[in-house]
Amino acid sequence: MNDRMMQAVLYDRYGGPDVLYVGRVPRPEPAPGEVLVKVRAFSVNGGEMAARSGRLRLLLGRRFPKRVGLDLTGEVVAAGTGVTGLTAGDRVWGVLGRTSGFGSAAEYVTVPAERVGRLPGGLDPVEAAALPVATTAVTALRDKAGLRPGERLLVRGAAGGVGSAAVQLGRAYGAEVTALARAANLDFVRDLGAHEAVDHRGVRPAELGRFDVVLDTVGTDLRTFRHLLRPGGRMVGIAFDLGRPLASLGYIAGSTVHGRGRVRFFSGDPRRADFDALARHVAEGALRPAVDTVFPSLEETAAAHRALEAGGVRGKYVVRVA
C-alpha cells in the first residue's frame, strides 16, 4: 500500500448514516505547530450528525467530500517545527480545533499540538476515546458556572457523552447532582454518582425544584429550564435547538442582557491545559470513561452514527481504527 495514502471516512452528499463510506485520501503532513497522530480510536458526537445530515449546510457549504470525527486517541508519529513537549511515540488524546473541522475518523490526522495532551498511563486508548469530550464538562462546571461544594446541580441529558462526565465531575466538585435522563438510563447515571436520577419524560420541569447550576446538553426548552434557577443561579448550555436554530440562538443572546439568570452558551475548544486537568481527574478517580459500545473498525462508523441517532446512548459510542 502506498504509504502516502490512508483510509478515512468520507461523504459526498448530505443525508443519513448510509452516505458514509471509507475512502482513500492523501496522508497529511504536520505543519509548523502541528503533530501527526496515528489514530487508535475516536468517538461519535452529536455535532457530526447535524453536519452530515445537512442541518448545518448554510455554514458548511456544498464542497465535497467531507469528513467526520472530532476527537481522538492515538500515538504521535511526527511533530512539525516549533512543537515542544510532544515527541514521536507519545500516547495522546485530543480534539480537533474549531478551524480544523472534522476529520479524526481516519488512520492519521494532523492536530495543532496545543489541542492534544498526554494520555494518562494505564488508561486503555480505546476506552479513553470516550473522554476528550469531558473537557467540555470541566469547562462548563468549573469555569463557566463556577460550581461550588454544596450547590444543587441539574444535568440535562445526563446519560450522554458530556452529561455522563458532568454527573461524575459534579459529584467530585461536591455538588448535589440531579440527573435527567431516559427511564432506561436512570440506574446508569446513579452508578456515575447522581444523587437523584429522574426520567425526563415522567416529570414536569417545575416539579424538579430550584437549582444553583443547570447544565443543558439538549438545547430545547431553554426558557423553561432557566426558570428553575435560584437567585444567583447559573445556566450553561452547550447545544441549541437545531429545529429552531435562529430562535434558539436569539434567546441565548437575549438572555445575556435581559432578566435574571444568564444562559452561558459555549462550544468546547480545549487546549493542552484542559487535557492535563482531565488527566488529573482520571488519576484521582473522579472520572472514568463511560463507553456504551466499541465499534471495531472504520467501516462501522455508519453503524455508530445510526446508533447515536436512534437515542438511548449510555456515555459514548467509540470507533476503533483497526
pLDDT tens column, 159-211: 999 999 999 999 999 999 999 999 999 999 999 999 999 999 999 999 999 99
Task: Indicate the pTM of the whole model.
Answer: 0.91
The H or E element spanning position 48 is helix 46-53
Residues 6+ apart with CB under 8 A from 1: none
Whether residue 277 lies inside any domain: the answer is: no
170 and 190 in a common domain: yes
Q: Are residues 172 and 243 both part of a single domain?
A: yes
**204 falls within a domain:** yes
In a shared domain, residues 201 and 300? no
Within this chain, do residues 33 and 104 fall inside the same structural domain, yes or no?
Answer: yes
Please tell me whether residues 126 and 157 are part of one structural domain.
no
Residue 310: CATH number of its domain: 3.90.180.10
Residue 231, domain CATH: 3.40.50.720
Query: What are the residues facing 291 on neighbouring strands?
Result: 316
190 and 231 belong to one structural domain: yes
Q: Work out how many domains the chain is built from and give that number.
A: 2
Same domain, 152 and 227: yes
pLDDT of residue 267: 72
In a domain, 281, yes or no: no
At 1 the pLDDT is 44
Query: Would you state the pLDDT for residue 297?
Result: 98
Instruction: Provide the CA 126 distance to its chain's centre, in angstroms.
Output: 16
Whether residues 138 and 246 fall in one domain: yes
pLDDT reported for residue 257: 46
Its sign, for the CA torsion 181, 187, 191, 194, is positive
Q: Does residue 123 share a domain with residue 12?
A: yes
Q: Are residues 48 and 105 in the same domain?
A: yes
- Domain around 187: 134-265
Residue 279 falls within a domain, yes or no? no
Quick check: is 276 in a domain? no
CA dihedral 236, 130, 71, 23 (to 10 degrees): -140
In the chain, which residues have pLDDT < 70? 1-2, 98-100, 240-262
pLDDT at 248: 43
Do residues 167 and 212 both lie within one domain?
yes
Q: What pLDDT shows up at residue 99?
A: 62
In the chain, at which residue ranges do the beta strands (DSSP E only) sit? 5-11, 21-26, 34-43, 66-67, 71-79, 91-95, 108-112, 116-118, 152-156, 176-181, 196-199, 211-216, 229-237, 263-265, 291-295, 316-320
pLDDT of 260 reads 47
Q: What is the dihedral angle through the alpha carbons of 195, 199, 203, 208, rounded to the nearest 10 degrees?
A: 20
Q: How far apart are CA 298 and CA 305, in angstroms?
A: 12
Residue 202 lies inside a defined structural domain of this protein: yes
Name the H helices within 85-183: 125-128, 134-138, 161-172
